[in-house]
Amino acid sequence: MKKKHIVALVVALLFIGVAAFALIDNKIDYADFSIAQNSGKRVQVSGEWQKDLPTQYDDKAHIFTFSMKDHKGNVMPVRYVGIKPNNFEVAPQVVCVGKVEGGVFQVSDIQTKCPSRYEGAAPKS
């Protein structure tokens, strides 16, 4: 084998190893608030906005704070730095990506699940 081929093979294997490590390191798992609090990692939490608890949006600093209940019933304050999603108030479910710091879920991304327009009305009996 020529020296060029060996060098190319080593570089290719190194590139594959770095890419695999980067993919594993950036994986974000679904969790609930108790897992998020104990893991210290970035996770995705799905839940519902708690309308009866304080909500605030600072439109100058673009800081949105609210409380969310996960699927296990745990409630935690959420802080998002960014523009509040325009359909947040009508969304039946919210998915947030972030990390728990100091008892607050510090979120980097919010996705709202829209109510389906395509669901038919409940059948009449």
Phi–psi pair at 94, nearest 5 degrees: -130, 140
The Cα 35–Cα 31 span in angstroms is: 6
Q: Where are the domains of the chain?
A: 28-113
Q: Is the pTM of this model over 0.85?
A: no
Q: What is the DSSP track for 90-106?
A: G-SEEEEEEEEETTEEE
CATH fold of 28-113: OB fold (Dihydrolipoamide Acetyltransferase, E2P) (2.40.50)
Give Cα 98 to chain centroid, integer Å. 5
Write down the residue that tokens 């093979």 correspond to: 9
Please say whether the beta carbons of 78 and 94 come within 8 A.
Answer: no
Please tell me the predicted confidence (pLDDT) of residue 97.
94
Give the chain's mean pLDDT: 85
| Out of 7-16, 25-34, 49-58, 81-90, least confident range | 25-34
